[in-house]
Every structure is written in C-alpha cells, then in structure tokens.
C-alpha cells in the first residue's frame, strides 16, 4: 500500500519530468547569474546556536496533515517578522500540490530579509539543484527515506558545487548511519513520521546521542512551546525547525521572540 511520502514523491517525479522538458539548463544558469551568492545557511545556524536557541522559521501555508494553516498568507511579511523576532534562517515550502507552496514564495521571502533560506521541497533529481539556486535558495533538503545512497550523493555534490548547504533529514539510527556517508554535517531529525503523520520527540532525543561530534543537529516538526525547546536543549539540541506553531499566530514576530528569546 502506498503511503503519503510515496504519493508525494510520485507527484514530484512527474512534476520534475515536466519541468525539465520545458526549462533548458541554460535558462536556469541565466537566472542563477542574477541571484546574490548563497548566504551561508549552516554558518548562520551555528552562530545563533552558540548564543542560545537557533531557529529555522518556516513559511508554510498548508500541509497534508493539517490542511490550510494560514489564510492571510504573505511570505515577505512573514520573512520580515521572523527576522525581527530573532530567527537564524528561513525555510520556505515550495511544493504546490501538497503544501500549496510556490517557488515565487521563496524568492519573495528571501528578497524581504537578509536570512539564508532553505528550499523545503522533495528532491528527487539533481536537476532540482540549479532550479533551487535559480529561485534564490541558499540550502536544500535531502530526505534519507526518499532516495537511495547513489542519488543522494549525486544531488548533494551538485548542491555543494553551487555553494549551497544541505540539510540531511533522518528518522532513525539506520538513516543516520547512511547520512554519515554524505559530506554534509547538517543533520535534521524529523519528529513527524512522514508515512503516518505521528509526531514523537523521542526520535530526536534518541538520535542526538548517536550523532558524531561536529554535526549541527536540528530538531524538526511538532515543536510548539518554549517547554518543547527547553526539553530539547536539556538533551543538547539547540537548533529547531518550526512551521505550524508560528504560522498560526496573529503576531508572528512576537510569537517568534517569545519562543526563542
């Protein structure tokens, strides 16, 4: 039986095939040449983490698990609010079919602030790397559960060659072991099971103790309160990726400050 991750990946493969057929690489290269250089995603996180909590604040309109999250969705305004509230970096959902995202949201959010921006999407093909850079992304996400080791390495090399950072997402110890074959040492643990949507912070608690020294370790999904962050911090986790809890707030800047201040 196919689960939600399989269905998302199937949609994405079809979408990328169609985009590749209509967008020559030369067009992407021309758009990359117009972008400002990558902003240093991991470096910005590490700098904030050295002084306390480091937040990757997510611009997320909707999700498969929650449906519509933010009605008055305004990526540039949210980007400014997140930066003013103290976020280290942004994450912007660009997947259209499942998250009501758009590439233009990332470009607009990045243009409205000085924070490095992660393109939060489902990478299935190295072609998406220049595409991500062409819209301004400073980092991409690689989901270990989605790809085999050969394709992961191919996409990672392409991203590093573009000067982008790579957030490698794992769910269990086996995926963490596989992740260590890659070059990137920016590791995210997704507390949400992408196959059934259940959230369990114990995933992060378990894996942070197994992460080799030198990793920047990010807890992702389901984090809502200051107590959630403090419980993570007690176990040595200082970087957090948070979307829904902040996107549901009327005053995004105040909520961001209250959460990580």
Ligand X SMILES: O=C(O)c1ccccc1NCC(=O)[C@H](O)[C@H](O)COP(=O)(O)O
Select 60 or 110, whichever has its Cβ closest to ligand X. 60
Angle ∠(161,137,91) on CA atoms, nearest 5: 130
Q: Does the protein bind ligand X through residue 156 (CB under 6 A)?
A: no
Q: Select from 32-40, 63-71, 72-80, 178-186 the region that touches ligand X (CB under 6 A).
A: 63-71
Residues 6+ apart with CB under 8 A from 9: 122, 124, 146
Nearest distance from C-beta of residue 191 to ligand X, angstroms: 8
Nearest distance from C-beta of residue 144 to ligand X, angstroms: 13
Q: Does the protein bind ligand X through residue 64 (CB under 6 A)?
A: yes
Residues 175 and 164: their CA atoms lie apart, in Å, by 22
Site string for ligand X, 208-237 (x = CB under 6 A): ------------xxxx--------------
Nearest distance from C-beta of residue 161 to ligand X, angstroms: 25
Nearest distance from C-beta of residue 64 to ligand X, angstroms: 5
Among 16, 28, 41, 63, binds ligand X (CB under 6 A): 63
Select 20 or 64, whichever has its Cβ closest to ligand X. 64
Residue with tokens 């007690």: 234
User: Please, is 216 exposed, middle or buried when counting C-beta atoms within 10 Å of its C-beta (0-12, 13-18, 19+)?
Assistant: buried
Among 100, 107, 190, 216, binds ligand X (CB under 6 A): 190
Q: Select from 33-41, 61-69, 82-90, 176-184 the region that touches ligand X (CB under 6 A).
A: 61-69
Residues 257 and 5: their CA atoms lie apart, in Å, by 33
Among 103, 121, 138, 244, binds ligand X (CB under 6 A): 244
- Which pairing describes strands 67-68 and 62-63: parallel, antiparallel, or unpaired? antiparallel
Nearest distance from C-beta of residue 17 to ligand X, angstroms: 21
* Residues forming beta bridges with residue 188, ordered by sequence position: 169, 218
Distance in angstroms between the alpha carbons of the first and the last residue of the chain:
44
Q: Does the protein bind ligand X through residue 134 (CB under 6 A)?
A: no
Angle ∠(107,163,146) on CA atoms, nearest 5: 75
* Residues forming beta bridges with residue 90, ordered by sequence position: 57, 117
Residues 56 and 165: their CA atoms lie apart, in Å, by 14
> Which residues bind to ligand X, rule: CB under 6 A?
4, 58, 60, 63-65, 190, 192, 194, 220-223, 241-245
């Amino acid at each position: 039986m196919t689960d939600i991750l399989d269905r998302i990946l199937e949609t994405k493969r079809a979408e990328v095939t169609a985009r590749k057929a209509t967008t020559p690489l030369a067009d992407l290269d021309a758009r990359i040449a117009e972008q400002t250089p990558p902003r240093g995603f991991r470096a910005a996180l590490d700098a904030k983490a050295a002084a306390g909590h480091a937040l990757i604040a997510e611009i997320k309109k909707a999700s498969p698990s929650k449906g519509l999250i933010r009605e008055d969705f305004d990526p540039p305004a949210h980007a400014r609010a997140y930066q003013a509230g103290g976020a280290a970096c942004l994450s912007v959902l660009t997947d259209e079919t499942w998250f009501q995202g758009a590439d233009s949201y990332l470009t607009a959010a990045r243009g409205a602030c000085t924070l490095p921006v992660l393109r939060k999407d489902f990478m299935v093909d190295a072609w998406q790397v220049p595409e991500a850079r062409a819209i301004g992304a400073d980092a991409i996400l690689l989901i270990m559960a989605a790809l085999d080791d050969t394709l992961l390495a191919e996409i990672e090399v392409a991203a590093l060659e573009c000067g982008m950072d790579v957030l490698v997402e794992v769910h269990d110890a086996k995926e963490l072991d596989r992740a260590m074959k890659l070059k990137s040492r920016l590791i995210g643990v997704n507390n949400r099971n992408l196959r059934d949507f259940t959230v369990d912070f114990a995933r992060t608690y378990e894996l942070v103790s197994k992460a080799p020294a030198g990793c920047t370790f990010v807890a992702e999904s389901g984090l809502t309160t200051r107590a959630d962050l403090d419980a993570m911090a007690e176990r040595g986790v200082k970087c957090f990726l948070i979307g829904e809890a902040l996107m549901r707030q009327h005053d995004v800047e105040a909520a961001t400050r209250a959460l990580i201040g």
